[in-house]
Amino acid sequence: LSAAAPLPLYLVQTALDDAVINAAVVRADHVPAFPTNRLCATPHLTDPAQLLRADWLEPVVGGPDGILIGHRIDEGHEIYVLADPDVIDNHGMASGNAALAVALIDRARHGGPVIFDETIHGFSTVPAGRLRLLLARPFLAATLDVLLACGLVLWTGARRFGATLPRPSALRPGKLALIDNITDLLLDTGQQGDLLRRYVSVTIDDVAARLHAPELADGEARAAWIARAETERGMTRDAATIAAAARNFSKSRRNDLAARFAVAEAAYLWKQEMLDGAAGTGRRGGGDPRGNPQGGGGAGRRDRPDADEPAGGRPRAA
């Protein structure tokens, strides 16, 4: 401790009054002498020394300036009053008061135990027993944490109430879910243009095969044959325009799905018109103008009588 200053005198007097000790606090401006010293140890006090004046205290260490250590028996209780705390302070013991402090404690305890009450500094008493210690501060918080963790473990390991809910299936049953999944995969590849070109090409080849087009090595000759067939049937669409649109999309990197689907639908309708006749001009065979999605059932009607139409040309009753 580098420096110590005394508290105001009225605070010390208030402490005496709270302890119901009828005494007055005085401070000597010189080194006091203590002719009465029953502890046989010389006190070393700092300036100014703090002393007491009280007629009802028996001086243990005292002198004409006042009492340093007083003693009194009150209703069977033995009371010692120390006026100046430097005698038992840490820095006061370093000044040579250790022997005086030990002598004072030995005189007051009469061979019994010594208890230092530190509750004024925020300390609390330690409960007896380990179980009580777990329920006392500061261990109470840790105990509650352990109990909470055990409760959570028991809760997670307990049985459920009722049956376990079934997990939803990763894929929906049926063909539509499979088609949707394949469509998503095709869209993710980013090759819609190439798929459109191949679809149009396969559609034109299928129509040529169903109409028994001659096997020509020259692609232009086959295209001319298909154009003549379109003229004979009064087509509203032509394969050359549809194929050119598909090739343009196959070279483009645009993500215009609506336009691509429009070209694919035009190829689909062109195939139905080629096989079943142009819409609005009558049909050979009486089938749906869109026909089977793959064009089935319409090709044979070009080369043989209708299955539902007799030789005379009138349809039979259904």
Residue 149 has pLDDT above 90, yes or no: yes
Structure confidence by residue, pLDDT tens digits, 98-110: 999 999 999 999 9
Reported confidence tier of residue 259, pLDDT bands at 50, 70, 90: confident
| Tens digits of residue pLDDT in 2-37 | 777 888 888 888 888 887 778 889 998 888 999 999
Tens of pLDDT, residue by residue over 152-171, are: 988 887 776 667 778 877 76
Compute the average pLDDT of residues 128-150: 87
pLDDT of residue 252: 52
Residue of 218 and 199 predicted with greater confidence: 199
Q: Name the more confident of 59 and 76.
A: 59
- pLDDT for position 67: 93
More confident residue, 33 or 252: 33
User: Looking up tokens 């669409």, which residue turns up?
Assistant: 237
Which residues have CB under 8 Å from 87's CB, separation 6+?
43, 45, 68, 69, 97, 100, 101, 104
CA pair distance 101, 44, nearest whole angstrom: 11
Overall pTM > 0.85: no
Would you place residue 301 in the very low, low, confident or very high pLDDT band (cuts 50, 70, 90)?
A: very low
Specify the pLDDT at position 310: 34
pLDDT one-digit tens code per residue, 84-93? 988 888 888 8
Question: Residue 48: its pLDDT value, please?
Answer: 86
Q: What is the pLDDT of residue 1?
A: 65
Under a CB-based contact definition with an 8 Å cutoff, are residues 41 and 54 in contact? Answer: no
Reported as a pLDDT band with limits 50, 70 and 90, residue 55 is confident
Confidence at residue 63, expressed as pLDDT on a 0 to 100 scale: 92
Confidence of residue 209 (pLDDT cuts 50, 70, 90): confident
